[in-house]
Amino acid sequence: MIGMSNEGLIAWSGPLLAGAAVTVEMTFLAYAIALVIGLLGATAKLGGPGPLRAMATLYTTVIRAVPELLLIILLYYAGQQLLNNLLQGLGYSDINLNGFATAVGVLAVVEGAYLTEIFRGAILAIPRGHIEAADAYGMSRGLRFRRVVLPEMLPQALPSMYNIFLLLVKDTALVSVVGFNELFFTSQQAAASTRSYFLFYSAAGALYLLMTMGSNVVFRWLERRVTRHRPAM
């Protein structure tokens, strides 16, 4: 029973954990960037000038209609070129992104589209009077966002934000297709070289499950925190 021997697992446990660490790093960085994209996108869609709003709508519509794998392949190859064209247009010199930065950027652009829609919906759910009250108190835009919009939007948005986080963890596996070395790529190499496919895919699955279930604890804590002002149902 080749498939059940686990001597290879000990030898490969180091690389597998290193791959898992890359996946975690990618997830956190991409999520942070996607949150910023989402907030900017939602702001553009809700109150931006016409052209900006149209661009944000095009962005969310196209990204959400195309399969993630296809987007990742396209953006992984074309992203670097697009970025350099943009930089040249602005008069800067080319930069050379490494695989990690490209992968993080691509994942952030993809998930940012979904977060844009989530934030837009959550901001729209805030009673209009609360925003007007903030304005009446003479709050600046920044202060209004920090004191009124953000605390009122988060309880609404958090469950969907958690869903996007889970999707992001799982979508990181897709960058293995363009040859980037993360958890799934490592498990593929381990499986192919030891011929213990069943074992290594199960091990990788267990690590992914650990990440997704572990993040559940964090988001549950966050949800309790942001809803602490709400009356008990």
Partner 1 sequence: MDFSWLANPLYLGFLWKGFINTIVLVVVSGAFGFALALGVAMAQISGPRPLAWTARAFTTVIRGTPLLLQLFFFYDGVGHLLAEFHGLHETFLWPILRNGFFYGILAFTMSNGAYLGEDLRGALLAVPRGELEAARAFGFGRFKAFYRIWLPHAIQIGLPQLASEAILLLKSIPLVSTIAVMDLLQAANIVRDSTFLVYEPLLLITGIYVALTLVLTVVTRIVERNFPGVRPTASRRGLLALLTGMRRA
Q: How far is the CB of 2 from partner 1 (least distance, A)?
A: 7
Q: Which is nearer to partner 1, 134 or 157 (CB)?
A: 157
Q: Which is nearer to partner 1, 97 or 166 (CB)?
A: 166
The token pair that represents 28 in the structure block? 């956190």
φ, ψ at 76 (rounded to 5°): -65, -40
* Helix 7-47 × helix 150-171 angle, to 10°: 140
Cβ proximity of 116 and 108 under 8 Å:
no
Residue 85 CB: number of other CB atoms within 10 A?
A: 12
Q: In the structure encoding, which two tokens stand for residue 230, read together?
A: 């709400």
Q: Is the separation of the CB atoms in 158 and 28 below 8 Å?
A: no
DSSP one-letter code for 182: S
State in angstroms the smallest separation of the CB of 31 from partner 1: 16
User: Strand, helix or coil at 70?
Assistant: helix
Residues binding partner 1 (CB under 8 A): 1-3, 57, 60-62, 64-70, 73-74, 77-78, 114, 117-118, 160, 163, 166-167, 169-174, 176-177, 184, 187-188, 191, 195, 197-198, 201-202, 204-205, 208-209, 212-213
- What is the smallest separation between the CB atom of 24 and partner 1, expressed in angstroms? 14
Cβ 5 to partner 1 shortest distance, Å: 12
Q: Which is nearer to partner 1, 126 or 178 (CB)?
A: 178
**60 close to 41: Cβ distance less than 8 angstroms:** yes
Closest to partner 1 by CB, 62 or 143: 62
Nearer to partner 1, 102 or 172 (CB): 172
